[in-house]
Amino acid sequence: MLLCSSVSGRSSQSGIFRDKTISSFSRSRSSRKSVMASPPILSLALPSDTGRVLSIQSHTVQGYVGNKSAVFPLQLLGYDVDPINSVQFSNHTGYPTFKGHVLNGQQLWDLIEGLEANDLLYYTHLLTGYIGSVSFLNKVLEVVHQLRCVNPNLTYVCDPVMGDEGKLYVPEDLVSVYREKVVPVASMLTPNQFEAELLTKLRIGSETDGREACNILHATGPSKVVITSINIEGNLLLIGSHQKDKEHAPEQFKIVIPKIPAYFTGTGDLMTALLLGWSNKYPNNLDKAAELAVSSLQALLQRTLSDYRRAGFDSQSSSLEIRLIQSQDDIRNPKLTFKADKYT
């Protein structure tokens, strides 16, 4: 069992972050006579009403996937976001070639140590997306533990990116780590249909199956589960579930999503970021948060599709880069065009 301690081995001062109101981060002049006191970190000293997010995801120089797809929307919704880039690539891997570097577990821990050494390790939320190795995922679990030592109320939002449409695109060993170690410590999970099937060992062929998959995941840990896309008899659905306490059945709902004849990159990363952003603003109304997230995403996809067509490009011939910057109004103030139907 892991115990709370300083990640750098020194005596930790992290306890000062346990209260959300931070009184002072200035060092005493008497103890630093020859050095000017450092100014406070305002995102800690004067925290926003929304929160402070640590986002561990991939990064591309060009295009919008991973952190490039998640950080800006969360900032638009009022969050302070600190990104750690698990990879740094020239572009996403759907292009004919890409170049770049992959962060390893020790390098991730070095960054956590640097934050902890300067008393910067207080976060309200942790967001994780694509992770490509068991060793890195295990290190992320250590990060979860350490963040909760600093803030026991940390919300961990996990998009368990493993594959889609029956195809794995991570090492198979990752599946059991997600199922046995990550799911129990997550606050919210946002799998797609295939990932939910892997995590629950349940084939999802109906809405009833989707709801049961949510129940299985609730029993393991997370209070909020959103299966972001389920294809049932040609219909595309989102199924969400919020178990507010163990004594009552979860509140469950669905949103019917239109099928768009195109493939987009970065949409899963964006959807999870939007669900984090809106569910924190509506903590007891996951259905409302999902309505806003889906409405934002669909408006962005329609704009992306329209712009590609306007440029004379066949939208069905390749993966499309989403129009994130051009859709910022739809992210900040979405028109509620999609409604949730609650299950009874």
Q: What average pLDDT does range 326-337 have in this prediction?
A: 97
Q: What is the mean pLDDT of the segment spanning 112-136?
A: 95
Q: How far apart are CA 44 and CA 98, in angstroms?
A: 37
The residues carrying an active-site annotation are 269
**Which spans in 118-240 are helix H?**
134-150, 173-177, 193-200, 207-220
Backbone angles phi, psi at 281, to 5 degrees: -75, -30
Q: Is residue 41 part of a domain?
A: no
Is residue 262 in a domain?
yes
Which structural domain range is residue 327 located in?
Answer: 48-342
Lowest mean pLDDT among 35-39, 111-115, 214-218, 257-261: 35-39
pLDDT tens digits, one per residue of 180-229: 999 999 999 999 999 999 999 999 999 999 999 999 999 999 999 999 99
Is 337 within the bounds of a domain? yes
For residue 134, is it within any domain? Answer: yes
Could you report the per-residue pLDDT of 59-83, keeping only the tens digit for each? 999 989 999 999 999 999 999 999 9
Burial class for 236, CB neighbours closer than 10 Å (0-12, 13-18, 19+): middle
Q: State the pLDDT at residue 10.
A: 45
What's the number of domains the chain is made of? Answer: 1
Whether residue 161 is contained in a domain is answered as yes
What CATH number is attached to the domain comprising 137?
3.40.1190.20
| pLDDT confidence of residue 19 | 44
The closest of 218, 227, 301, 232 to 266, measured between CA atoms, is 301
Residue 19 lies in a domain: no
In a domain, 16, yes or no: no
Q: Note whether residue 136 is domain-resident.
A: yes
Q: Average pLDDT for residues 106-116, to the nearest whole number?
A: 96
